[in-house]
Each structure stands twice: as C-alpha cells, then as structure tokens.
Amino acid sequence: MPYQIDSIKQFRLALISLVALIILGTFGYHILLGWSLFDSVYMTLITLSTVGYKEVHHLDKTGMVFTMSLIVFGVAIVFWAAASLIQAVVGEQMWHALQRRRMQKQIVKMRNHYIICGYGRMGQQIASDLQREDVPHVVIEKNPEQLPKLIEQNIPFIEGNASDDKILKAAGIERAKGLITVAPSDEDNVFITLSARAINPSLFIVARSIQEGNEDKLKMAGADRVMSPYVMGGRRMASAVLRPNVYDFLELAMHTDDIQMLIEEMCIGRGSRLIGKSLAASGLKKETGVTVIAITRASGKMVANPGPDELLHEGDVMIVLGVPDQLSRAEAIANPKKESCEEIQEA
C-alpha cells in the first residue's frame, strides 16, 4: 500500500511542476520577448508538447536559449508525470493481485474455520470477536464499499454472493466448521443456509432473522441456531434494567475486550481422568478453580447447575466459568488429546 501512495504523490508533484513550468514559460516569453499573454501561452504549449509548429514570432538568441531550456525541463517533467502515473496504476493492480493470491493461498490452507456471510455492522463485530479469540475465519461480502475495511483489518475474504455455490466453495465450505450468515435480508439468509447445508451437511450454521416470523423458515432451511437481533437486544436491555448486576457480570464474562472472566465450553475427551467420576470426586474445582455451571450430554440434554454427585461421561460438554489460566488447566484435564467434541461423539 505505501508503494502506491508514493507513486501517486510523485505523479501529483510532477503535475504541479508541469503547471508551474507552463506558467513560467508564459511569463518568460511575455517578459523577455514582450509577446502577448495569448501568444506566450501558445508558444509555451507547443514547445512543451514538442509538436514542431512554427514559432509565433521571430526568436532572438535570448528567446532561443529560453526555448531550449523550456524543452529540456518540459520533456523531463512530462516523462516524469507519465512514468509516475503508469507506476501508480500498474503498482496498484499488482498489489491487489498479490493480495488476492495471498488470501487465496491462506483460505486453501484453512481447516475447521468459520465463514461469515456479510460484513455489515453485525458481521464486523463477529469478525472482531473471532479475530480476538484467534479463530480462523473467512468473510464473504458482495458490497465493494466494505472491501477496503476487510483489507485494512487483514481479514481473508471472498468477493461475491454467498448464496452462490462457487463462492461458498472458494471460501472452503467443504472444510469449514461453521457458517454465520448475517446478510441484509432474511431471504438472502435462507438461500445462503440452503446452499451451505446442501454442500456440507455437517456444517454448524447460525443465521440472523430480521423478522421473527422467519425463524422457522431458517430452521427448515438447515440453520442450527437462529438469532433475532431485535429480540436479543430487547432481552439484554430488559436484563440491564431488571438485573443490572447479573447483566454486568455476563458482559464481563462474555463481551468485554479486557478478558478477566470467561464462560467457556469444554468437551470431556477420550482418556480424560474425569470420565465416570462425579463433580465432587473429580476435584476439578479444587485443582483448577473453575466452576461448572452446566453440562450438556452427548444426547443433547442439558443439566443446569449440576450437583456434586452429577457423573461425568465421555463426550459430555461442560460449561465452565473461570479466568483464562484456570480454563487452560481445566481443558488439559478434561480433554488431554485436544480432540473436538464432534470427533469424540462420533467415535
């Protein structure tokens, strides 16, 4: 990017120099030879353009020397301006081509990543959160006005319509772990969900629903989760009024950039010493400091606020609360092989 900026600055400087030379030539002929301003401008332009027209008036030695100087400087500046313009245009094209190639290579290498369809306000927030958590992701965006933001944030992206199978495949949907569609309309989100589900049946899809009545349509299209920003926003605002301390805690645990407390999920993997033990007997709280606030069984059933006698099984997903260091220690105990829940539950 700095390369193009420097080239454009050079072109502007050369253009300013050319204009200054035209003004200098005009007043030079006018003052040194006493010509009219019109004749002086005309003579300056035909001299700088080297078209070879006959002189407007007879030139004495002073006029000849001035004209030769004007030709030398003028031709140099014209070539400088032309070279700067070509350098700026070609340099920008090359830079964009190199950017596209780099992104394509980066996307091809991605595995178990997430695809964000739409880079509006919600898409930007989602990408920011995934970037903060160092989660690999690709953005699909068809609005050219949003592309400079993606380039500035160094986010891999594909330009095009996310409901197009070719675009989804270019984003690596067959290797992706999940897809989040926040397109401008519910119709777009339905088509994107249908296309994504047809290509990758195991994909985890989260879709935004603008109108509440379209939630069922998105679920029928194949969305695993449907979020309505207006409903969620209303609930959060009500919670901020009714339970302000609970709201502040959840914001701290889930939405703050200053990570002090987190709510995370971790799967009990094969070989974990937690398998077959109760929460009390596992010693997880005493050893790591995390608090288990819920357990999701492999069957999908959720046990909220589990008691000390609740047994832990392979493939269970624990919802735990703790600071990052505590969560890291708990993860090492719960899933020593660092397998994904899908791999554990499929096995």
Kindly report the CATH number assigned to the domain that includes residue 139. Answer: 3.40.50.720
- Residue 116's domain comprises 110-232
Whether residues 100 and 129 share a domain: the answer is no
Q: Please name which of 295, 287, 288 lies closest in space to residue 341, comparing C-alpha atoms.
A: 295
pLDDT tens per residue across all 347 residues of the chain: 444 445 667 777 877 888 888 888 889 888 888 888 888 888 888 887 777 667 778 888 888 888 888 888 877 887 777 777 666 665 555 556 666 777 888 899 999 999 999 999 999 999 998 998 889 999 999 998 998 888 888 899 999 999 999 999 999 999 999 999 999 999 999 999 999 999 999 999 999 998 878 899 999 999 999 998 888 888 888 888 888 888 777 777 665 555 567 888 999 988 899 999 999 999 999 999 999 999 998 888 999 999 999 999 998 999 999 888 999 999 999 999 888 777 776 65
Q: Can you tell me the distance from the alpha carbon of 178 to that of 206, in angstroms, rounded to the nearest whole number?
A: 8
Q: Is the dihedral of CA 167, 168, 173, 178 positive or negative?
A: positive
Interior angle at CA 79, CA 75 and CA 80, nearest 5: 115
Whether residues 20 and 53 share a domain: the answer is yes
Query: Burial level of 154, CB count in 10 A (0-12/13-18/19+)?
Result: exposed
CATH number at residue 329: 3.30.70.1450
Q: Can you tell me the distance from the alpha carbon of 288 to that of 328, in angstroms, rounded to the nearest whole number?
A: 9
CATH number at residue 19: 1.10.287.70
Would 247 be classed as within a structural domain?
A: no
Q: Can you tell me the distance from the alpha carbon of 107 to that of 116, in angstroms, rounded to the nearest whole number?
A: 13
Q: Please name which of 27, 33, 76, 82 lies closest in space to residue 55, comparing C-alpha atoms.
A: 33
Side-by-side strand order, sheet with 262-267: 262-267, 317-322, 291-296, 302-304
Token pair listed for 7:
């080239």
Would 252 be classed as within a structural domain?
A: no
Whether residues 220 and 133 share a domain: the answer is yes
Whether residues 215 and 295 share a domain: the answer is no
How many structural domains compose the chain? 3
